[in-house]
Structure 1
Amino acid sequence: MALLSSPRFLRNVLLADALSCVACGLLQVALTRPLESLLKLPAPLLLATGWFLLAYAGVVAAIATRSPIPRAPVWLLVAGNVGWALACVALLATGAAAPSALGTAWVLAQAATVAVLAQLQAMALRRPTPQAGWA
């Protein structure tokens, strides 16, 4: 797998994480009311998590652009992504919200996305020999 052995693999995964957070965050902040109606998710939840995602994207991007990429903060990002995925599942499992079918898909898509990103970040960190540009 040449992709996994690339010295830019972790940086690219982090940038993908940041971009996905920006996209989702902007949608949730800019279109809170229409999304509330469409997804049947509470506007305060959409707005708060949207702003959080935008701030989180900034942190992830800052880490991704460091040279070398510091490993300890990336492990915190892995934990944050796992936590986000679990929170998404818990939101649905506990009945804390009653989303529409599209809202359920929205939440599950976020859970799946961050779970995959966490896995890719962890895989990059577990490589036997760190690549150039890593701390």
Structure 2
Amino acid sequence: MTIATPIATDRLLRLALRIDGVASGALGVGLLALAGVAEDRLGASTALTVSVGIFLVLFGAALVLLAARPRIPPAAVWVIIIGNLGWVAESVILAVSDDLTGLGVALTLAQAAAVLVFADLEYAGLRRAMRR
């Protein structure tokens, strides 16, 4: 089986993609809803909050749609895993940049930890699916 061959996935991979998608979408909606107050409370600019919120809503929808496919391309899962790891790295960089408030740092690191768990679950699910 190659990285381009779609795989029939197991429940772990589908569940990880769905939860990642729902959590990403929910965070995106929350950021969009709170964009006006995020600058004061979190230290994040409104432009950043809105941009990230829109991205997360779209990303979350894409993950839910991917999880619903009968066969999932491993390359797509690798893109998500690598993207999630990049997101974690960027979140840590943002958290130590001195621009965020204490609450902003705490929320940024908390969501980074959750994304790291999603990446790990997606990797585990992909490995299990590839062995079948």
TM-score of Structure 1 vs Structure 2, range by shorter chain: 0.7 to 0.9
Gaps of 5+ in 1: 1-5, 131-135
CA shift, 1:29, in A, is 0.8
Contact 1:63 1:70 in 2 (8 A): no
* AA matched with 2:59: Y
Alignment size in residue pairs: 123
Provide the rounded CA distance (Å) in 2 between the counterparts of 1:76 and 1:59: 12
CA shift, 1:34, in A, is 1.7
Instruction: State the 4+ residue runs in structure 1 displaced beyond 4 angstroms.
Output: none
Provide the rounded CA distance (Å) in 2 between the counterparts of 1:65 and 1:71: 14
Gaps of 5+ in 2: 1-8
Contact 2:84 2:115 in 1 (8 A): yes
Contact 1:15 1:60 in 2 (8 A): yes
Provide the rounded CA distance (Å) in 2 between the counterparts of 1:37 and 1:19: 27
State the partner residue of 1:3: none
- Identity rate of aligned residues, in percent? 35
Contact 2:24 2:60 in 1 (8 A): yes
Provide TM-score, normalisation by structure 2. 0.86
* AA matched with 2:112: A
State the partner residue of 1:75: 78
CA shift, 1:110, in A, is 1.6
* AA matched with 1:26: V
Larger RCO (CA within 8 A; separation ≥ 6): 2
* AA matched with 2:64: A
Provide TM-score, normalisation by structure 1. 0.85
Provide the rounded CA distance (Å) in 2 between the counterparts of 1:64 and 1:70: 10
